[in-house]
Amino acid sequence: MTIAIDTNRYRDFCAGESAAVGVFASAHAIHVPFVVLAELRAGFLIGRLSRKNEAVLLRFLSRPRVHLLCADNQTTHHYARVFAQLRAQGTPIPTNDIWIAALVMQHGLLLYSRDRHFDHLPQLPRIE
């Protein structure tokens, strides 16, 4: 199983939540969307444990199964389709999550997230 993770599931993993630890352990590859990395670092900067959290993140990112997932020109087409679909449905979701969905669909990954607003995208493969 190859997954892309959302910010909330990285936090669950770091907190030792057993389901998240199990999913991370069983994944062949774990992709971290650039947006998730930015959200994590933004949270670190406003928190009290910024240096510690950054060090843990760097160790995680250095693992051979972990890959940073960045947007490219193709991603923008997926983003546009997801944005248009959500608008037509009248079910907007946060912009960062549209980027995550676009990257997941582009690369044929499973999204590991707790966010219910991804339910508005039935074509998005997910692990809950």
In order along its 128 residues, the chain shows pLDDT tens digits of 999 999 999 999 999 999 999 999 999 999 999 999 999 999 999 999 999 999 999 999 999 999 999 999 999 999 999 999 999 999 999 999 999 999 999 999 999 999 999 999 999 999 97
pLDDT in tens, 75-106: 999 999 999 999 999 999 999 999 999 999 99
Domains belonging to the chain, first-starting first, are: 2-127 (3.40.50.1010)
Question: For 27, phi and psi rounded to 5 degrees?
Answer: -75, 135
pLDDT at residue number 115: 95
Q: What is the pTM of this model?
A: 0.95
Q: What is the strand order of the sheet 2-5 is part of?
A: 66-69, 29-33, 2-5, 110-112, 126-127
